[in-house]
A and B are shown apart, each in its own frame.
Chain A
Amino acid sequence: MKWKSLIKVALKSIMKNRMRSFLTMLGIIIGVASVIALISVGKGTQADISGKIQSMGTNLLMVMPGASGFGGVSRGAGSWHTLTLADAEKIEKEATLVTQVSPVVRESAQVIAGRNNWFTSVQGVTANYTIIRSWPVDRGAFFTDRDVKTMAKVAVLGATVADTLFPGQDPIGARIRVGNVPFTVVGVLSKKGQNMMGSDQDDIILAPSTTVLFRLGDGKWINSITVSAVSERETDAARSEVEAIMRRSHRLAGSEDNNFSIRTQTELNEMATSVTRMMTLLLSAVAGVSLLVGGIGIMNIMLVSVTERTREIGIRLAIGAREADVLVQFLIEAAIISLMGGLLGILLGLVTAGVIGRAISASIVVDPLTITISFLFSGIIGIFFGFYPAKKAAALNPIEALHYE
């Protein structure tokens, strides 16, 4: 068969009815554009979230006060007072699959440095916290185990706090007041950026756990214990081990529920990705429906076109076109319309993804596979929905078609 001529014939008939061809494509354009935009934004967001969770360290375990509720989400986690420094010490002493343990005491306080002041979160941790969170200091030094033991009034500032309290100055060695307690700044943390919930992780002050607990806090209850397992693969084993130690530490009988909960980064990661995956899936279903509607649009217009061109079909059959020739001609026409729609849809989708990405400041992942599949899929839609009208055209009786008014 003469493909070049057939494609030329199809292009000609598409160009003859430019407006109609475009309107026919519109369904496919919108469908493909939404698929491309949604998947690009969805994948981008997923990558962002995974990246942020990775940046917190993948072998992290978090022990939180309060029982874990339905679906692994702790009911009001942190609102119960069940964790103490003794728990953290016990884990450190007894656990074998754990390398680092740091209690975390969280307080909020007004911080004053000279004429500047700032309300921020003050976290009491131990000296190994920079290792656990893989969060090195940028200037100065982190406080030491000795500082923790001696309840030293030293502080390490997050980048945001440093910039706010000491704009253009070196804060190392400076004196600040946290609440009513004077501290000496010993270091500034490197910048970490936003966490996956979008809050600024650098808006923080780190100080020895003991200092925060006894000078700023209630002297007894800590907020959480951050533990790092020996490796990412051992996190589940480490989790069981830590759970057993915690139950012993809290003297829980066999039938009693945990009054604490343990979460791993992997879990958080899965939770986050499953949410975005669900969203992508849901929106893709919507996009799929619009592709279906686009396909039906093609079928509708092709049927009209076949009726309008009955005489032309009659002529072609009379001068020797086989049924297959007519079928192929209309299939090619449907395929070209939908492929053109697919192409325009891909362009529109990428532009839309870019605009959305900028609006919600998320990354965009352009996946060549998605684009290829969308393109091929639009062609398939054209051929699928073009088949019935094309079949109808090919089955026309030449004499009747010639006499069609």
Chain B
Amino acid sequence: MALIELKNLTKTYRMGDIDVHALRGVDMKVEEREFLAITGASGSGKSTMLNILGCLDLPSGGEYVLGGIQVSGLSKRELADIRNEKIGFVFQGFNLLPRTSALENVELPLLYDRAGRIKNPAGKAVEVLTRVGLGDRLHHEPNKLSGGEQQRVAIARALINEPSILLADEPTGNLDTTTSMEVIEIFRDLNRQGMTIILVTHEPDIAHQARRAIELRDGRIIKDEVL
């Protein structure tokens, strides 16, 4: 069974009187251990799709099945729990808490780990920070870290709850080329260790680092290729 299955997924935003069709029927399957890049022009619906995949938003129509669960019918509370247990999210703007150390930022999702799935929380945060190469920056606050380092803290935060899938929306959008490649290398590394990754980007160079790429246009998939 596929980890992710989208069937005729649509998303329509209402802006006053007009309907904005961000997604117009997307069918897609993602297997475990895949490394998928979503590309497409600005406004093609990439973020919309990723937000739905990340359970931050609900589709207007169609089906989204994640690990055998029908997401469309879940309550807000169940969505929150799925975000905490199954999904790691990395944003373009890093979205770290200011004036809060790297370690505390990374520990944040554990505050909402109700089931206590993660044993030894304190050690776990150090472990994931070391894994992204920040073992020596544990107590730095975001404004004392470079952009690349901040994004690596964000990746560590996404990893701490041992999610089954890592989602990243333009994770290199705010970084220069060299740093972008460093961050992508971390993703590739994680994927080699078995992590399923879906990454949104509009840079072909970045997309080519993935193993599969789909292209969106006007809310539809127009290309799906294995690289």
Contacts and interface: CB of A to CB of B under 8 A. Distances in A.
A321 B80 contact: yes
Contacts, number: 62
A192 interface: no
A315 B83 contact: no
B77 A316 contact: no
Contact of B112 (A16, A314, A322): A322
Contacts of B157: 319
A322 B77 contact: yes
Given A314-B95, A319-B83, A398 B56 contact: yes
B81 A320 contact: yes
A2 interface: yes
Interface string A302-325: 000000000110111111111111
Q: Which of B57, B81, B85, B97 has the most CB of A within 10 A?
A: B97
B187 interface: no
B57 A399 contact: yes
A270 B76 CA distance: 61
A319 B97 contact: no
Given A16-B99, A399-B51, A402-B95, A319 B76 contact: no
A57 to B, nearest CB: 68
Given A9-B111, A320-B161, A325-B112, A315 B95 contact: yes
Nearest to B104: A12
B151 to A, nearest CB: 14
A5 interface: yes
A319 B89 contact: yes
Contacts of B108: 315-316, 319
Nearest to A395: B76
B97 A399 contact: no
Interface of A: 1-2, 5-6, 9, 16, 311-312, 314-325, 398-399, 402
Interface of B: 51, 54, 56-57, 76-77, 80-85, 89, 91, 95-97, 99, 108-109, 111-114, 157, 161
19 contacts: A5-B111, A6-B111, A9-B111, A312-B97, A315-B97, A315-B108, A316-B108, A316-B112, A319-B83, A320-B82, A320-B83, A321-B80, A321-B84, A321-B112, A322-B76, A322-B112, A324-B77, A325-B111, A399-B56
